[in-house]
Amino acid sequence: MIPMALLVVSLTWGLIRIAPGNFYSTERKLPAAVEATIRAKYGLDDPWYKQYATMMSNVVRGDFGDSLKYQGQTVNEIIWRHLPYSATIGILAYLFALIVGLGAGTYAALKQNSILDFGPMSLAMFGLSIPNFVLAPVLVMIFAFWLYALPPARWGGFSSLILPVITLGAIYAAYIARLTRAGMLEVLRSDFIRTARAKGLNDRTVLLRHAFRGGILPVISFTGPALAALLAGTVVVEKVYALPGLGDIFIKAVLNRDEPLVLGIVAFLSILIMAFNLIVDISYGFLDPRIRYE
Partner 1 sequence: MEEVEKTTAGTSLWSDAWKRLRRNKLAFVSLCFLAFMVVAVIAGPSIIFWTTGFTYESTPTDRALVRAFPPSLLHPMGTDDQGRDMLARVLQGGRVSLMVGIISTIVSLIVGVSYGAIAGYLGGKIDNIMMRIVDVIYAIPYILIVIVLLSVFGGASTPAWIKWLSTNIGGAQNQGLSQLFLLFFALGLVSWLTMARVVRGQILSLKNQDFVMAARATGVGTFGIIFRHLIPNALGPVVVYATLTIPSVMLTEAFLSFLGLGVQAPYASWGSLADIGIKNLAIYPWQLIFPGVTMALTLFALNFVGDGLRDALDPQTRKF
Residues at the contact surface with partner 1, assessed by CB under 8 A: 4-5, 7-8, 11-12, 15-16, 18-21, 112, 125-126, 128-131, 133-134, 137-138, 141, 145, 182, 185, 189, 232, 235-236, 239-240, 250-251, 254-255, 262, 266, 269-270, 273-274
Query: In the complex with partner 1, which residue's Cβ is closer, 102 or 269?
Result: 269
CA distance 209 to 190: 14
CA distance 110 to 68: 56
Query: In the complex with partner 1, which residue's Cβ is closer, 108 or 206?
Result: 108
Q: How far is the CB of 33 from partner 1 (least distance, A)?
A: 27
DSSP 237: H
DSSP 139: H
Q: How far is the CB of 104 from partner 1 (least distance, A)?
A: 16
User: Could you give the residue ranges of the DSSP H alpha helices within 130-158?
Assistant: 132-140
Query: In the complex with partner 1, which residue's Cβ is closer, 205 or 244?
Result: 244
Query: In the complex with partner 1, which residue's Cβ is closer, 78 or 199?
Result: 78
Query: In the complex with partner 1, which residue's Cβ is closer, 40 or 138?
Result: 138
Query: In the complex with partner 1, which residue's Cβ is closer, 131 or 200?
Result: 131
Q: How far is the CB of 206 from partner 1 (least distance, A)?
A: 19
Mapping DSSP to helix (H, G, I), strand (E, B) and coil, where does residue 241 land? coil
Mapping DSSP to helix (H, G, I), strand (E, B) and coil, where does residue 102 land? helix
CA distance 138 to 145: 10
Q: Calculate Rg over the CA atoms of the chain.
A: 24
Q: How far is the CB of 162 from partner 1 (least distance, A)?
A: 19
CA distance 183 to 101: 12
Residue 100: partners with Cβ closer than 8 Å, 6 or more residues away? 169, 173, 176, 177
Burial class (CB within 10 angstroms; exposed 0-12, middle 13-18, buried 19+) of 124: buried
Q: How far is the CB of 19 from partner 1 (least distance, A)?
A: 5
Q: How far is the CB of 37 from partner 1 (least distance, A)?
A: 25
Q: How far is the CB of 125 from partner 1 (least distance, A)?
A: 6
CA distance 263 to 143: 38
CA count, 13 A, side-chain hemisphere, 108: 25
| DSSP letter string, 78-132 | HHHHHHHHHHHHHHHHHHHHHHHHHHHHHHHHHTTTSHHHHHHHHHHHHHHHS-H
Query: In the complex with partner 1, which residue's Cβ is closer, 14 or 84?
Result: 14
